[in-house]
Structure formats: C-alpha cells, structure tokens
C-alpha cells in the first residue's frame, strides 16, 4: 500500500480496523507524539537481539534526564510494529522518579522492530529502536 493511502486509512478508520494493513512504525510513533518526529538521542534501549522466547522479553530503558520539575521525562512508550496490538506499554514517570530507568517483560509476536519513545516535559520527544529476532525453542508442547 502506498504511504499516502496508509495515511488516509489511519486518519479515517477507528483503531480496530487498522490491523488489516499494519501501519508503518513511523506512523505508529507519530500517533503517540501527535505528529512530532522524535530525536534519536539521550535514550538507551536494551533488548536482546536474539529473543529466546517471545512470551517474555526483557527490556531495559534508560533516558538521560535530570528528572527535575523543569526538565523530566513524562512517559516512555513501547511500540512493537508487528504485534497484533502494537502499543505494548507506557510508563508514566514524575520528577520524583529520580531517574528515568525502567525494566519490564514484554511479549513479542514475531521478529520485528521495537521502538521506545519518551515524552519530555519540555514538549520534545526522544526515541530509540532495535531489530530483534524471535528464535524458536525446540520443544513446543502447546501446554
């Protein structure tokens, strides 16, 4: 699908119908930043390149920020572009967090690009992304 057509679909249809043609990562990001393009800086995103099992994937996110009233991270949003529901999680922080330092366990449906976007109190956004490969374990017993 052409980018223009995808953009139109995004604007015109309710969220649930977008699964039919997964929007590109840039569009998924634009949706949480209200159109702003995040800077690729100040954020480190640690996720295994080779995921041992997509059921539980460890991620660690660290944003460089003084975490003061004047200058802090408001939230960090995780997007997995090929998950059935690409918005995976959002962490809301405050100046009292002291650091913007998060670890969590996520579920990744398949090999894909995963992005983290942080919203800053200044109004700007920063982001990082990573390509991951979900490997298959040898013995899947289906319960």
Partner 1 sequence: MASFNARITMPAEAKAGEIVEIRVLVRHPMDRGGQVDAAGRVVPRKILNRLTVTYVGEPVFRYDMHTGVSANPFVSFTTRAVETGDLLFEWREDGGATFTRTARLVVT
Partner 2 sequence: MSAAGRALAIVLLALAGTALADEIKPGSAFLSPQMQRQQEDEARNPGWLWVEQGEELFDRRDGTTPACLSCHADPRQSLRGAAARYPQVDAASGKLINLEGRIEQCRVDRQKQPAFGYESQELLGLTAYVASLSKGVPLSVSAEGAAKPFYEAGKAFYQRRQGQLNLACTQCHDRLVGQKLRGDTISYGIGTGYPAYRLEWNGLGSLHRRLRACSLGVRARQFDYGSDDYLALELYLAVRAKGLALEAPGLRR
Q: Which residues bind partner 1 (CB under 8 A)?
A: 55-57, 78, 80, 83-94, 96-99, 101-108, 143
Residues 6+ apart with CB under 8 A from 66: 72
* Tokens 């017993």 belong to residue: 141
* Residue 64, token pair as written in the block: 């460089």
Answer with the entry of partner 2, partner 1, none that 127 interacts with (C-beta below 5 to 8 A by kind). Answer: none
Quote the least distance from Cβ 139 to partner 1, whole Å.
19
Quote the least distance from Cβ 138 to partner 2, whole Å.
4
Answer with the entry of partner 2, partner 1, none that 92 interacts with (C-beta below 5 to 8 A by kind). Answer: partner 1
Residue closer to partner 2 by CB (options 41, 53) is 53
Answer with the entry of partner 1, partner 2, none that 89 interacts with (C-beta below 5 to 8 A by kind). Answer: partner 1
Interior/surface letters 18-42, b for 16+ CB within 10 angstroms, e for the rest? beeebbebebbbbbbeeeeebeeeb
Quote the least distance from Cβ 45 to partner 1, whole Å.
15
Answer with the entry of partner 2, partner 1, none that 64 interacts with (C-beta below 5 to 8 A by kind). Answer: none
User: Is the distance from CB of 77 to CB of 119 less than 8 angstroms?
Assistant: yes
> What does the alpha-carbon distance between residue 124 and residue 27 come to, in Å, rounded to a whole number?
17
Quote the least distance from Cβ 47 to partner 2, whole Å.
11
Query: What is 86-117 written as a DSSP string?
Result: -EEEEEE--GGGSSEEEEEEE---SSEEEEEE
Residue closer to partner 1 by CB (options 38, 54) is 54
């Amino acid at each position: 699908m052409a980018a223009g057509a995808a953009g139109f679909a995004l604007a015109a249809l309710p969220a649930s119908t977008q699964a039919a043609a997964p929007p590109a990562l840039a569009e998924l990001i634009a949706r949480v930043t209200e159109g702003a393009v995040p800077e690729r800086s100040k954020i480190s995103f640690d996720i295994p390149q080779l995921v041992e099992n997509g059921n539980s994937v460890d991620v660690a996110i660290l944003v460089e920020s003084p975490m003061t009233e004047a200058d802090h991270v408001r939230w960090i949003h995780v997007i997995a572009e090929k998950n059935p529901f690409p918005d995976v999680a959002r962490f809301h922080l405050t100046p009292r967090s002291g650091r913007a330092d998060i670890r969590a366990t996520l579920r990744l449906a398949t090999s894909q690009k995963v992005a983290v976007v942080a919203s800053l109190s200044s109004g700007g956004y920063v982001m990082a992304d990573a390509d991951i490969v979900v490997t298959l374990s040898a013995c899947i017993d289906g319960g």
